[in-house]
Amino acid sequence: MTTLPTSTDRKLGLVIDLDTCVGCHACVISCKGWNTENYGAPLADTDAYGANPSGTFLNRVHSYEVQPANDAPAQLIHFPKSCLHCEDAPCVTVCPTGASYKRVEDGIVLVNEADCIGCGLCAWACPYGAREMDAVEKVMKKCTLCVDRIYNENLPEEDREPACVRTCPAGARHFGDFADPDSNVSKLTAERGGMDLMPEMGTKPVNKYLPPRPKDRDRSEDVDILAPFLEPVAAEPTGFLGWLDKALTTMPGGKS
Amino acid sequence: MHPAPSVILFSTLSGLGFGLLAFLGLGVLQPTGMGAFIWFFIAYALAVGGLISSTFHLGRPERALKAFKQWRSSWLSREGICAVVALLVMGLYAIGAIFLGTHWTVLGVVGAVLSVLTVFTTAMIYTQFKTVPRWHNITTPAMFLSICIAGGALLAGQVTLAIPLLILAALAQLAHWVVGDKALEASGTDMGTATGLGDRGTVRAFEPPHTGTNYLLKEFVYVIGRKHAAKLRIVAMGLMVVAPIVLLALTQLASVSGTADHVLAALAVISHLVGVFAARWLFFAQAEHVVGLYYGKR
Ligand code: SF4
Ligand code: SF4
Ligand code: SF4
C-alpha cells in the first residue's frame, strides 16, 4: 500500500549534529558494510578498482563552507545525509507497485525489493537524494534505519542501534523516538533548535539537524598557553646526537 | 534530469498515437473495413510501441505487471490502468469499424476521453514532482495535452483543425519554457534551505561526498547539452509547429493535389514527430532537480 499512514505509533529517526560531525565518513563506511552484508540486496560497486568507480550508498557526507555576511570567519560544516524518514514521504505515494511503504508501527520508510520494478520515480520524488538505484540489482536502495539491528535480539544490547550511530567517533548521530517528548532525540532537538531540511517541500522530515554553533571570533592566530613549553630545548644537538649529526653530515650526500 | 531515450520515445509516440485514437473515437473520421484497419493499426502501433519502449527504462521490466496496483496514490499506476482500458475500449470500437462497418458512437467517445486521459496521467507523473520546479506547474499538462491533440489532428489529416491546434500547442510549449526558466528561483529552494544553513551566510559546496560520479549525479544533474538549449528550442519549435503548418498550407493550394498532397502531409507528420522528440529531450535535459543543490549544482 503506498498511501501513507495518517499517523505512526512511534517516530523513529536520527538527530544529526552538524556542530560535532568531523567529516570522517566512518558512518558512510559502516552503513555500507552493514547494509551490504544484511537486509536486502547488497550495495553494488561498479568498476571499484578502475578509472570510474561508482557505487550505491545509503548515507553520504557533504562538506559546505558558510561565509557569514559580516565578514566573520567562514565555517566548514560537514553534512551527513541519509533518508529522513519523512512523515509526508512523497517517495512512498508515487510508487506504482506498493514496494515503497511507511511502517505504521515505527514510521520507518522501507522498500520491499521483491516488488520494486526499478522505475526510479521514488528517487525523483525525494528532494534529498536519499534513494539510489542499485546498478547491479536494479532495485531501489535506501536507508532502512537499520531495521535489522534496532530490533535484533541476537545482537548485544548496545549494538541495537543503527550502524552509523554506533560507529560515529564524534557522537554526531543520535537515534531515538521523536514521538516521545522525553526521548534523547526529542530533548536534543528542543535544546539545540533541531531543524528540517527543505521545509518548503512539505515532506515533514522526522530526522532533525542540529545547527552548528557559530564561531565567535577568528582563532587562527591564537597561541596555546602551553606553546612556550614546546620550544626546542637545544638548537644544536650535543652528545650522541651531536656525533650522529656530524657523522651523517660528513657522509656522501649528507650536506644537501 | 537524465533524458532517457526510452522515456522520450514513449511520450512522443504514445502521445501521438492516443491523439489519433481520440480523433478516431470522436468520429471525426469514420473509416470502415480495410481503411479502418490501417488507421487503427497506425494508432495502435504508436501508442503500444510507446508503451513498450517505456518499459525499457525499468530496472526490472519482468515485474511490470505489479505497477497496476497502487492507483489510489500513484500517477504511474493510474497511467498504466488508463492506457490499458483506453486501448481495450478503442479495440472494441475498431472491431466494429473494421469488421461490421459500424461506429458505436458512445463507445468511441468513451475511448476518446480515455485516450486523452492517458496522456493527462503521463503529464501528471511529471507535474507531481515538487522536486523538479520546472515541471511542477500547470504548463506541463497543458503542453502534453495540446501537443497530443494537435498531433492527433495532424495525423488524422484534419487540416483545418490541425493548424489552429498546432498554434495552441506552440503557445503551451512556449509557456512551459517561459514559466520553467524561472521556476527553480521562484520555488524558493536553494542551497540555503537544502542545508538549513542559509540564514548563517552564503553556502558553498566545499567537497562532494564522493570522488567519482554516482546515480544521483547521473540521473538528476544532467547538464550535457544545456548550453545548446536556446538553439534546440528554435529547432524543436520549427519542426514541431512551423514546418507542419507551412506544409499543410501548401496542401491547400489548388495546384497541389493527389500524391503530392499525401507526400506533403506525411512530411508534416514526420517533421512534427521529430520536433516533439527534440522538445521532449529538452523537457528532461533542462529540468533541474533540487537534489543538485546539495552538490552546488542545478
Ligand atoms: S528522505 Fe527521501 S527517501 Fe526518505 S522518506 Fe523522505 S522523501 Fe522518502
Ligand atoms: S523504483 Fe521501486 S520502490 Fe521506487 S517507485 Fe519504482 S517500484 Fe516503487
Ligand atoms: S540508519 Fe543504517 S541504513 Fe540508515 S544511514 Fe545509518 S547505517 Fe545506513
What digits encode the pLDDT tens for the residues B101-133? 999 999 999 999 999 999 999 999 999 999 999
Cβ distance B131 to A90 less than 8 Å, yes or no, reads yes
Looking up residue A166, the CATH number of its domain turns out to be 3.30.70.20
Q: Which atom of ligand 1 is least distant from the CA of A207?
A: 1
Quick one: closest CA in A to B220, which residue? A124
A145 touches chain B (CB under 8 A): no
Q: How many Cα atoms are found within 13 Å in the side-chain-facing hemisphere of B243?
A: 20
How many Å apart are CA A112 and CA B118, to the nearest integer?
28
Cβ distance A55 to B214 less than 8 Å, yes or no, reads yes
The whole-number pLDDT of residue A7 equals 87
Cβ distance A62 to B76 less than 8 Å, yes or no, reads no
Mutate to test the pocket of ligand 2, among A56, A121, A137, A143 (most ligand atoms within 8 A of CB): A121
Q: Tell me whether residue A172 is in a domain.
A: yes
* Domains defined along chain B, listed by start: 5-56+65-184+214-295 (1.20.1630)
For residue A85, report the distance from its CA to the centre of ligand 1, in Å: 5
Residue in A82, A81, A88, A83 with CA at minimum distance from that of residue A204: A88
Q: Tell me whether residue A65 is in a domain.
A: yes
The whole-number pLDDT of residue B222 equals 83
Q: A140: Cβ below 6 Å to ligand 1?
A: no
Cell reading at B223: 547538464
Q: Which atom of ligand 3 is least distant from the CA of A165?
A: 6
- Work out whether strand A131-133 and strand A140-142 pair parallel, antiparallel, or are unpaired: antiparallel
Q: Tell me whether residue A21 is in a domain.
A: yes
**pLDDT tens, residue by residue, A41-66:** 999 999 999 999 999 999 999 999 99
The whole-number pLDDT of residue B214 equals 93
Cell reading at A215: 564561531
**Alpha-carbon torsion angle B12, B13, B18, B21, nearest 10:** 140
Q: State which residues form the domain around A150.
A: 12-210
The whole-number pLDDT of residue B146 equals 98
A118 touches chain B (CB under 8 A): yes
Q: Tell me whether residue A3 is in a domain.
A: no
B199 touches chain A (CB under 8 A): no
Q: Which residues of chain B have pLDDT under 50?
A: none
B163: left (phi over 0), alpha (psi -120 to 50) or beta: alpha
Q: Tell me whether residue A242 is in a domain.
A: no
Partnered with residue A208 across adjacent β-strands are: A15
Collect all residues of chain A within an 8 Å Cβ-Cβ radius of residue B220: 124, 129
Q: Tell me whether residue A244 is in a domain.
A: no
Collect all residues of chain B within an 8 Å Cβ-Cβ radius of residue A199: 193
Q: Which helix (H) or strand (E) holds B231?
A: helix B229-237
Q: Tell me whether residue A231 is in a domain.
A: no
How many Å apart are CA B18 and CA B86, to the nearest integer?
9
Q: Residues 6 or more apart from A192 whose CB is under 8 A from it?
A: A17, A19, A210, A211
Cell reading at A128: 534529498
Q: Which residue has the CA at smallest separation from atom 4 of ligand 1?
A: A83
CA of B273 vs chain A CAs: smallest distance (Å) = 25
How many Å apart are CA A77 and CA A87, to the nearest integer?
26
Residue in A4, A200, A27, A134 with CA at minimum distance from that of residue B72: A4
Residue pair A150/A12 in contact (Cβ under 8 Å)? The answer is yes
Cβ distance A201 to B131 less than 8 Å, yes or no, reads yes
Give, as one character, the DSSP assignment of residue A199: G
* CB nearest to B130's CB, from A25, A28, A201: A201
Q: Which residues of chain A have pLDDT under 70?
A: 1-2, 216-220, 232-234, 254-256
The whole-number pLDDT of residue B42 equals 96
Residue in B273, B275, B244, B247 with CA at minimum distance from that of residue B260: B247
CA of A109 vs chain B CAs: smallest distance (Å) = 16
Which residue of B206, B219, B220, B293 to mutate against A (max A Cβ within 10 Å)? B206
Number of domains in chain A: 1
Q: Tell me whether residue A254 is in a domain.
A: no
Cβ distance B60 to A116 less than 8 Å, yes or no, reads yes
